[in-house]
Amino acid sequence: MAPSKPLFPVAVPAPDPSDEVVREFGPLLRIYKSGRIERPLVAPPVEPGHDAATGVQSKDVHLGSYSARLYLPPSAGAGAKLPVVVYVHGGGFVAESAASPNYHLFLNRLAAACPALAVSVDYRLAPEHPLPAGYDDCLAALKWVLSAADPWVAAHGDLARVFVAGDSAGGNVCHHLAIHPDVVQAQRARQAGAPPLKGAVLIHPWFWGSEAVGEEPRDPAARAMGVGLWLFACPETNGLDDPRMNPLAPAAPGLHTLACERVMVCAAEGDFLRWRGRAYAEAVAAARGGDLGEAAGVELLETMGEGHVFFLFKPDCYEAKEMMHKMVAFINAP
């Protein structure tokens, strides 16, 4: 029996006019004097299930402090094992989720196009859970995938072809995962049967640093723009040259220790992070003794005429389709 409707409209209390905004980070996060938090950019979440456009089936798995949304393409029934893509969403460590409509659409399409078994990590966000909580959740999720504890992963995932991928803050996390001591040790134990990371895809990764690279602005005031969000999300940080924000910093682990066979970095012409992404790709290639390209196992895709994470907001544009095509080719390469 359906629940009865209320006889009278339910009154929604008007916002307290004295509850003023005390911190604001663009459209990502707004914090009020009362402690109330708004995330204006984030659209209502979408439920998992069958995607009619791609035939992909998705489900949510709750894993304590975090959860994961898994995507299984229709080709999974053919019997061949599929590459596994562990995806980390962006949002400055303070916004978005695996259930955000733009990410749900992207993961459905990626899983179908490869085809691959995709695992989108729904990690804890700051300020409710300051970093390193998000990093910890994503590391736990990667270990969970590698353990094949989920029936979909056990039945359909090829654990010799596991990729990490993510955009913006998620791209930052992918580097953190690939260079984390636990993952590095697994890579070194490959001969003993431990599953390695086949590759990493960093889309418009959020890296920064005290010293400019490429054509980044040199002016200290300009370089300070955007720093506040990192300091806010990670109160324990020692600043912009924290290795988690600046993998090129002197104190950062050597890039030669990245626990993945291949790396793909995507950059966009209109993104202020463009030069940082390029510098990262070049540094990884140099650490492997070569230049960008197949020999060093490092690819750089630079999209002209587009801005930061454009593929989420214009998923049907030519450039977004080209990026998807390049990602699929990278994941399916031998």
Instruction: Please name the residue ranges forming H helices in 234-303.
Output: 274-287
Residues 165, 89: Cα–Cα separation, whole Å: 9
Residues 137, 121: Cα–Cα separation, whole Å: 8
Catalytic residue, candidates 176, 180, 204, 308: 308
Do the beta carbons of residue 285 and residue 296 sit within 8 Å? yes
316 carries an active-site annotation:
no
308 carries an active-site annotation:
yes
Which residue is it, tokens 């324990």?
236
Do the beta carbons of residue 86 and residue 141 sit within 8 Å? yes
Residues 88, 135: Cα–Cα separation, whole Å: 10
Which residue is it, tokens 């353990």?
147
Kindly give the pairing relationship between strand 197-203 and strand 157-167.
parallel
Sorted by sequence, the CB contacts under 8 Å of residue 6 that are 6+ apart come out as none
Catalytic residue, candidates 51, 150, 167, 271: 271
- The token duo for 101 is 């409509």
168 carries an active-site annotation:
yes
Do the beta carbons of residue 302 and residue 224 sit within 8 Å? no
Catalytic residue, candidates 104, 122, 168, 180: 168
Sorted by sequence, the CB contacts under 8 Å of residue 269 that are 6+ apart come out as 302, 303, 304, 305, 306, 307
- Nearest by Cα to 197 from 261, 154, 284, 292: 261
- Asked, as a colleague might, if the bond just before 243 is cis with ω within 30 of 0, I would say no
Helical (H) or strand (E) element with 107? helix 101-113
Residues 54, 52: Cα–Cα separation, whole Å: 6
Residues 7, 86: Cα–Cα separation, whole Å: 48
Sorted by sequence, the CB contacts under 8 Å of residue 259 that are 6+ apart come out as 178, 179, 180, 183, 184, 186, 187, 196, 197
Q: Which residues are catalytic?
A: 168, 271, 308
